[in-house]
Structure 1
Amino acid sequence: MKQLLATLLLLFTFGASAQEFNKEIKTENGLQFLVGQINLEGLRSQPYSNWFQDRYENYLPDETMVALFKEKLAGYNIKLFLGTWCGDSKRESPKFIKILEAADFPMEQLEIIALDYRKEHYKTSPTGEEKGLNIIKVPTIIFFKDGKEINRIVESPLETLEEDIAQIVFQKDYVPNYAY
């Protein structure tokens, strides 16, 4: 009996702490968006696939640049903060995902967090992944090495996503838009 109770307690604890992915909000005026941790399945679901899939499929990464940073990029963890309601996120996020896949980036090292659009929760997530990270614009792509932020791309690249990624992973002088 003790073993059964211990097992049930463990399962409950695990279930309670498991992250819910692709949580969707629907507002009274019909706006629909994702919040919190999301994955590619969420971006490829309706209605988000309407903007994600075409932009993803039609983007051709710069293979020369990808080959240049591919090996170094694998040593990073990345947090992508976006808004499924945001035009800049809709433009840059599919391209960024396509670049990561072209670089054979270990996707378990990518965390995608969708931020809220509602006035009372603007640019926050239900579980607070953005806290302390100074997210002022989306998308914000933060590159971490050994748990420390190395740099970020904010809202749009300075040159191209591939060139900006190369600057960051080779730790060159790179100052993102809206530098803080």
Structure 2
Amino acid sequence: MKNLVLLMLLSIIFARCSAGKVIKSNTEEMKTTTTTYQPTAKLQTQNGREMLVGTVAYDDILHYFENWRTEDAGIVLDQPLIDRIKAINEPIDVVCYLGTWCEDSRNGVPPFVRAIREAKNPNIQLTLIAINREKTEPESLLENGIERVPTFILKQNGEEFARLVEFPMQENFVLDFVEIAGY
């Protein structure tokens, strides 16, 4: 009888151990598939500094720059502001010029991007354009008179109606945006 109880106990222990290994294996596999990101932008090196130039995805910035990931991870979203963004019922295009090398961009852009993403408002289209340190690339920055970053250009029907430059007027660019948009 003791042998039978011992055998059953060992069977349960081994069954649980092997089940744990399967779960661990599946978890490791899931981590691999969820953390693999294929950037769309190519990293450039200018004067010994790495940066992105041109139209970029926010995830590209996070992929290449740990300091941006750190900033992004510390963001606490303000739900009342998110609700105000959700309420915007007219199309607004936001073109944000930024420098991946720029501390002001690193401080101001992540909260804005995260708020726009969280709101999931189809009326708001956000385009991120990274510029080089000399502020000579891409060409569109010269065409739009960009001198400082970050610069958020707000447009309706293709016409610029507001611009937020380098530092927010209030607490942050998200609050500036909803105030200017009238929501």
- Residue from 134, 137, 140 that aligns with 2:145: 134
- Larger C-alpha radius of gyration, 1 or 2? 2
Q: C-alpha separation between the residues in 2 aligned to 1:73 and 1:154?
A: 24
- Retained in 1: the 8 A contact 2:152–2:165? yes
More helix by share: 2
Kindly provide the amino acid, as one letter, of the partner of residue 167 in structure 1: E
Q: Cα offset for 1:107? A: 9.4
Task: Summarize the Cα distance change of 1:82–1:111 in structure 2 as closer, same or farther, 3 Å threshold.
Answer: same
Structure 1 residue runs of 4 or more that deviate by more than 4 Å after TM superposition: none
Gaps of 5+ in 2: 1-39
Residue number in structure 2 paired with 1:7: none
Residue number in structure 2 paired with 1:9: none
- TM norm structure 1: 0.71
Residue number in structure 1 paired with 2:170: 159
- Retained in 2: the 8 A contact 1:113–1:125? no
2:129 aligned counterpart, secondary structure: strand
- Retained in 1: the 8 A contact 2:85–2:121? no
Q: C-alpha separation between the residues in 2 aligned to 1:92 and 1:107?
A: 22
Kindly provide the amino acid, as one letter, of the partner of residue 87 in structure 2: E
Q: C-alpha separation between the residues in 2 aligned to 1:107 and 1:36?
A: 23
What RMSD, in angstroms, separates the aligned Cα atoms of the two structures? 2.2
Residue number in structure 1 paired with 2:59: 41
- Retained in 2: the 8 A contact 1:53–1:94? no
Gaps of 5+ in 1: 1-20, 172-180
* Residue-pair matches, total: 143
2:141 aligned counterpart, secondary structure: coil
Q: C-alpha separation between the residues in 1 aligned to 2:44 and 2:93?
A: 28
Give aligned-pair identity as a percent: 27
1:44 aligned counterpart, secondary structure: helix
